Amino acid sequence: MSTHAPGHRFETLRRKMVQQQLTGVADPRVREAMGKVPREHFVPGVMKPRAYEDGPLPIAAGQTISQPRIVARMTELLDLHGDEKVLEIGTGSGYQTAVLALLAREVVSVERHGELARAAHKRLNELGLGGVTVLVSDGTLGRSDYAPFGAVLVTAGAPEVPQRLIEQLEVGGRLVIPVGDAKDQKLVRVTREPDGSDGSLSWREERFDDCRFVPLVGRFGWKES
Ligand code: SAH
């Protein structure tokens, strides 16, 4: 992967980020991927010096690029083996998309803001990342035209788990999503299980870290205010 920022400065900051910020993330593949993706490529020009800070940063359209430790943690919870087709909801800057692209076979990423989707698509292309499709749509509906998915990652906060996203998982597939109110959410992991004998949808739910995301706005998310 080529970085477009000059010099070793960003590389040093990136190595430090992995060592000092990703303390709660043990998966070596996730740590390696986080050590490869040039985060400075995904933040606005004036924010580049702050690209490796331990926090979220503003991007366009009033949205944010998530904190590195949260990106890593969510990726770890997806438990990717490398052969999955992954659906990401909330492309934003495309940073999380790039991390997923290094760890899965194919990534379909959807974003409701056309402006963000176009910019993210351009950045991902510039890095020469293959196997990525960026689409503009309401992610709360999933993407039945690309389903089923081995994993689904939602990077915006939802009031509840949209059932359609569970329906679009393969059996054994994992969905990771922040669920809660507008201010506080918890990371929830849903693992799809074989349908019941009556054909009913079946899954297991686990709860993890506290987090705070921008809202998931759509038909099965928050209503636009
Ligand atoms: N993964 C991103 C984080 C972006 S913040 C990154 O690494 O930069 C969450 C994003 O979700 C925002 O860009 C927001 O516009 C988008 N979003 C919110 N609701 C959505 C929906 N229903 N469908 C698709 N995208 C949505």
CATH number at residue 29: 3.40.50.150
What pLDDT sits at residue 225? 75
Domain assignment present for 225: no
Residue 29 CA to ligand 1 center (angstroms) comes to 24
Domain tally for the chain? 1
Q: Whose CA is nearest to atom 18 of ligand 1?
A: 216
Residue 26 CA to ligand 1 center (angstroms) comes to 26
- Is the pLDDT reported for residue 100 higher than 70? yes
- Mean predicted confidence (pLDDT) in 149-167: 98
What pLDDT sits at residue 8? 83
Domain assignment present for 153: yes
Domain assignment present for 169: yes
Q: How confident is the model at residue 140 (pLDDT cuts 50, 70, 90)?
A: very high
Domain assignment present for 19: yes
Q: How confident is the model at residue 1 (pLDDT cuts 50, 70, 90)?
A: low
- Is the pLDDT reported for residue 107 higher than 90? yes
Residue 215 CA to ligand 1 center (angstroms) comes to 8
Average pLDDT of every residue of the chain:
96
- Is the pLDDT reported for residue 123 higher than 90? yes
| Closest residue by Cα to residue 21 from 69, 62, 83, 66 | 69
Q: How confident is the model at residue 218 (pLDDT cuts 50, 70, 90)?
A: very high
Active site residues: 66
Domain assignment present for 223: no
Q: pTM for this structure? A: 0.96
What pLDDT sits at residue 22? 98
Domain assignment present for 219: no
Q: Give the residue numbers spanning the domain of 155.
A: 5-211
Q: Which residues sit with their C-beta closer than 6 Å to ligand 1?
A: 63-66, 89-90, 92-93, 95-96, 110-113, 116, 138-140, 155-156, 214, 216-218, 221
